[in-house]
Structure 1
Amino acid sequence: MSARNFQVALALSVCLGTGARADTVFVANENGQSVSIIDTETSKTVTVPIPISPHNVDITRDGRLLLATGMAAGGSGGHAAHGAPGGGQLVLMDVSDGAPAAPTVVPVGGHPAHVVPDAQGRLAYLTDAKTNSVVVVDIAARKVAERIPVQNYPHGLRLSPDGSLLAVANMKSGTVSLVDSRNLEKVEHVPVGERPVQVAFDPSGRVLVVSLNGEDKVAIVDVASGKVLQKASVGRGPVQVFVTPDGKTALVANQGSAAKPDDRVSVVALETGKLVKNVTVGKGAHGVVIAPDGRTAYVTSTYANTMSPIDLASLTAGTARPTGKAPNGIAAR
């Protein structure tokens, strides 16, 4: 890929209108084979082509390195591209300067969906649904270091706040695998419900929220006992979930289906399991992340090709911004 292809394309638009400080938001455009980088202060968007159909993105804690995972470009496009020739790949991109650097590709094989880095930025953990494992990548060495067996069709995953535990949603097993990051052979499998897609820890690390795409609910799990405390009803086809910094509520993006898309983000009280509010965004709400200052959430809408901010004080959505095609995963710094 030539350097010319990585020149930024700036598009001015209206301000997001959330009143929060400036954030940088990173969006995986799965059908666009690109990542959109949105500056919420200037309302400028940089769309960078990458050599995969990215399903998920994350960023290292220092905000310098962007990680994107998906299948090599050249398949049928969209999430179906997980079966494309070329196999799964992890793309690493330095975003510490004004313009993103050209990407580095680490082949991982299989059928990757989500990626998270550790706190030190040394390792990346990716789910691989083809081998029912978590792939551990040594970021500095740019190679696969290890594979951790989990259960059937792992998809979303997150690290606990202290980094000691990796939670993995196994879509076809109805379980979450809890992996001890200090002893990767120590894995516990917790039954949670039908078609778990993604997980989110509360700030204490004692509570885990799991989106149950097959039940239109989220499960609220006590991590120490491995027991489901309660289930809360949300919208249709919940996908990603994120817990607010105060630990009181979870935001759940409800995608629905292409035939019957949902456009709501459900806000659920973790103590009671009650619905606080549904916030309307674009069709096919999928990815959700909360900015580091805890004041704004950002949500991708897969069928609308947009990203929307949500002010967490008022629980209202601001102006949606255009992204690339079929935005899915999202990260912010």
Structure 2
Amino acid sequence: MDNRSADYSLCSAIRSNLERCILGKRVEIERLLIALLAGGHVLLEDVPGTGKTQLVKALARTIGGHFRRVQCNPDLLPTDITGVSIYHPRDEAFIYRPGPVMANLLLVDEINRATTKTQSALLEAMEERHVTVDGDTYDLPAPFILIATQNPIEFEGTYTLPEAQLDRFMMKLSLGYPDEATERQMVLSADSSSKADKLFPVADIEQISALMQSVSQVHVDEAVADYMVGIIRATREHDGVLLGASPRAAISLMAAVKANAFINERDYVIPDDIKDLAAPVLCHRIVLKTEARMNGLTAEKVVEAIIQQLNVPVRMER
């Protein structure tokens, strides 16, 4: 088996392991895997009890990386995430005590319950992959992926994420309720222990880093790149949009579509990769005008309309 075939088999094994834990959510699992391989952060927004935390724990067990979890509340301080420098009298020096951010996979549960000051402590880590504590900079482990969850229907004691922070999430995903057959299977197979705790690693962090390197080498034809940029720019020109997708969004979408091609066992990107991921990558970055929102316009409808209007490239060079 050559290296590329081994990489594809490993992706399939990771996906299968996650599907043992979270039933009936193949598309959402694939998108989480895409974000992982593209080095992007993910915002999971859904009502309680749909398996958000379970999915992240399953991913951590599957890839064998260093996993930490932060449960957000209004009392949480920035140093509770980044760590703190403590003075040691014997050494007559300040020693850095790492916070939970020093992990390969960081789960920030109910991120909108943390104050804006605490949320801002994550911005440097998400963008720069390091944190600054008392003037000293500390690199985060590589790779570093942050997955945050939030409840969209609970408003008391919550703080809305600012646009600058939303823009640093590669994707915004929602698991949703399972279908009837899947929910019946879940009920019949339920036990007192977490399914995520029973999973065994199928990869290690070095293998994940190697997969991420392979993803970065996926070919993107100029015609496909022009098509993607056209979608990005069209979000800024839409009549109902106040703030369209940023250049950071374009970079995130490019990384995501490369990963999507890779897990589908291709070493090149096709327009369908962009169509599949445009909504989860772009919608949470688009700010609509108040009047348009009141008239029922959504970011999803904006992206869908743009995709339908733009011409799809039919000739690509390989």
TM-based fold match above 0.5:
no
Say which one has the larger Rg: 2
The structure with higher relative contact order (CA 8 Å, sep 6+) is 2
Structure with more of its chain in helix, by fraction: 2
Give the TM interval when normalised to the shorter protein: under 0.3
Give the TM-score normalised by the residue count of structure 2.
0.26
Structure with more of its chain in strand, by fraction: 1
